Amino acid sequence: MAATTEGPPAAAPPRRSDATRAAIVAAAREQFAAAGYQGATIRSIAAAAGIDPALVMRYYGNKEGLFAAAAEFDLRLPDLGALPRSQVGAALVSHFLDRWEGDDALMALLRAAVTNPAARQRMQSIFATQVGPQVGKLSGLPRAEAAARAGLISSQILGLALCRYVLELPPVLKLTRADTVRRVGATVQRYLFDA
């Protein structure tokens, strides 16, 4: 054997804490998504993760640090330049819906951003670094005009998510996915290339 004292070699010591950390972040996303920043408590998160509340503090320092870790987020926008120009709007909406329904990250971010300043800034930076540039590249417009259009697109897409997933307005819930992609996609398309 490598060593009579046994145990893993020097590289990558398998600490159980890694699994614990992952469980905490997953539970945090869940709770922040369901109850917002203030509604989710260290205790409720620890309970959902099946561990002790003190561990959350040990690993993430405080509630702010935990949220910062839980709100790590990548929109994973696909390369829309490869698509036929006429399909870009619908593709964008479709991707956003996937991203909303895929996990709790965006829901957690939005629910928290409405009352928590740090979450709001995170939201601002996400749309500044991930949405804005992509719109600029796609539309080929000057920076200021592209930013304005990215803002309009964000307002439509975030509003759709707000009404559908957060406020759950019945008429918005009744829309089929295909219908949503088509109709909201047309709006995004217009913001991208027309008016």
Tokens of 77: 């926008």
171 binds, among DNA, its own copies, none (CB under 5 to 8 A by kind): its own copies
Would you count residue 39 as binding its own copies (CB under 8 A)? yes
Q: Are 91 and 157 in contact (CB under 8 A)?
A: no
Question: Residue 172: is it exposed, middle or buried by C-beta count within 10 angstroms (0-12/13-18/19+)?
Answer: middle
Pick the closer one to its own copies by CB: 57 or 152. 152
Give the DSSP H or E segment for 138: helix 132-139
58 binds, among DNA, its own copies, none (CB under 5 to 8 A by kind): DNA
> Which residue, chain included where needed, has tokens 């320092």?
61
Q: Count residues contacting its own copies (CB under 8 A)?
A: 47
Q: Are 99 and 110 in contact (CB under 8 A)?
A: no
- Which 8-state DSSP code applies to residue 194? -
Which positions from 6 through 25 interact with DNA, judged by CB under 7 A? 15-17, 20
162 binds, among DNA, its own copies, none (CB under 5 to 8 A by kind): its own copies
Give the x-and-dash track for 41-80 against DNA (CB under 7 A): xxxx------xxxxx-xx--xxxx----------------
Pick the closer one to DNA by CB: 41 or 180. 41
Q: Which residues contact 192 (CB under 8 A, 6 or more apart)?
A: 88, 89, 135, 138, 139, 149, 153
The angle formed by the CA atoms of residues 127, 130 and 132, to the nearest 5 degrees, is: 65
Q: Are 59 and 45 in contact (CB under 8 A)?
A: no
Tokens of 78: 């696909």
Pick the closer one to its own copies by CB: 51 or 166. 166
Catalog residues that contact DNA under the rule CB under 7 A.
Answer: 15-17, 20, 40-44, 51-55, 57-58, 61-64
- Binding stretches for its own copies (CB under 8 A): 35-36, 38-39, 110-111, 113-115, 120, 123-124, 127-128, 132, 147-148, 150-152, 154-160, 162-164, 166-172, 174-175, 179, 183-184, 186-187, 190-191, 195
